[in-house]
Homo-oligomer: A and B are copies of this chain.
Amino acid sequence: MTDELKAVRSGMETMVRQAQVNICSALEALDGGRFHEDRWERPGGGGGISRILQDGRVFEKAGVNVSVVHGELPEQAARAMGGGKALGRDDLDFYAAGISLVIHPRNPMAPTAHANYRFFQRGAGKKNGSWWFGGGSDLTPAYLFEEDNVHFHRELRAACDETDLSYYPRFKTWCDQYFYLPHRGECRGVGGIFFDDLHDRPAADLLRFAERCAAAFVPSFIPLVERRMDMAFTPDQKRWQQLRRGRYVEFNLVYDRGTLFGLKTSGRTESILMSLPLTARWEYDAQPDAGSEEAKLLAVLREPREWV
């Protein structure tokens, strides 16, 4: 392994641990509750820290995970993991360090947010494409507040622009395409950024990019929760939020690659499924009234917009 990759691994570990502390602190300050923490070890190598705040004043469920894992992958898992085009049987060694979080606020006017930044390496990391970054951040509101979506996207664009002006437009489109439920004809939310298999710049540059993105999470999201967390809402609006949470579950369990990869390769189930909301609802053929606020959200989910 090159000295550069060694430094990137070490920098990524430091970054994800620090981001976990910072994000949890910001959420605790808003909620008043405290995160519960579990430290776990992976039998094959490495481990993680799962932090969860459940049934809080502001947050119905907030999970912030970090993991730094390594070892040898079963061949099938190695293929599913990607980065494997040029790799042979001697490249089953893997290393992955990342942070992953999903925040479900209680108030239906406050959006759900997800973010996830990770670094992967296969084998010695010397072959082209044998190390890469992945991740992104996206917003899933139950009600549409245009200024919130603009704010969220603007913060992410700023983080992207510092590294590469082509990143935000590419990763915004990728996000809309990735977080899409074909069986509903809907995006999961109003998007953000998504990228995978990213190795088009030196690893040290991309580490800086991941750091900027992770640092953007608190300023991109916390102000939205502050604006919305004490708004009045009706039981029907809560019900609509619950139906949207059902869609969130559908995406994560049917399509999300990270979730399925984790569940099918014996990852730590409780940490993987921390992303699911505390409560969700499925009604048969629930359709919002034409012209309603709920219908306005659906229109945007069916035809993604440019926000910045």
Q: Are B254 and A284 in contact (CB under 8 A)?
A: no
Q: Chain A contact residues: over half helix, strand or loop, or mixed? A: mixed
Q: Which residues of A263-308 are within 8 A (CB) of B?
A: 263-264, 266, 269-270, 272-274, 276-285
Report the separation of the CA atoms of residues A263 and B281 in the bound assembly, to the nearest whole angstrom: 19
Q: Closest chain B residue to A282 by CB distance?
A: B276
Query: Is the CB of A123 closer than 8 A to any CB of chain B?
Result: no
Report the separation of the CA atoms of residues A50 and B285 in the bound assembly, to the nearest whole angstrom: 11
Q: Are A246 and B276 in contact (CB under 8 A)?
A: yes
Query: Is the CB of A110 closer than 8 A to any CB of chain B?
Result: no
Report the separation of the CA atoms of residues A242 and B245 in the bound assembly, to the nearest whole angstrom: 15
Q: Are B38 and A285 in contact (CB under 8 A)?
A: yes
Query: Is the CB of A36 closer than 8 A to any CB of chain B?
Result: yes
Contact residues in B for A260 (Cβ distance below 8 Å): 254
Given A249-B253, A253-B250, A263-B254, do A63 and B279 touch, yes or no (CB 8 Å)? Answer: no
Interface residues of A (CB under 8 A from B): 36, 38, 50, 52, 54, 61, 63, 182-184, 242, 246, 249-250, 253-254, 260, 263-264, 266, 269-270, 272-274, 276-285
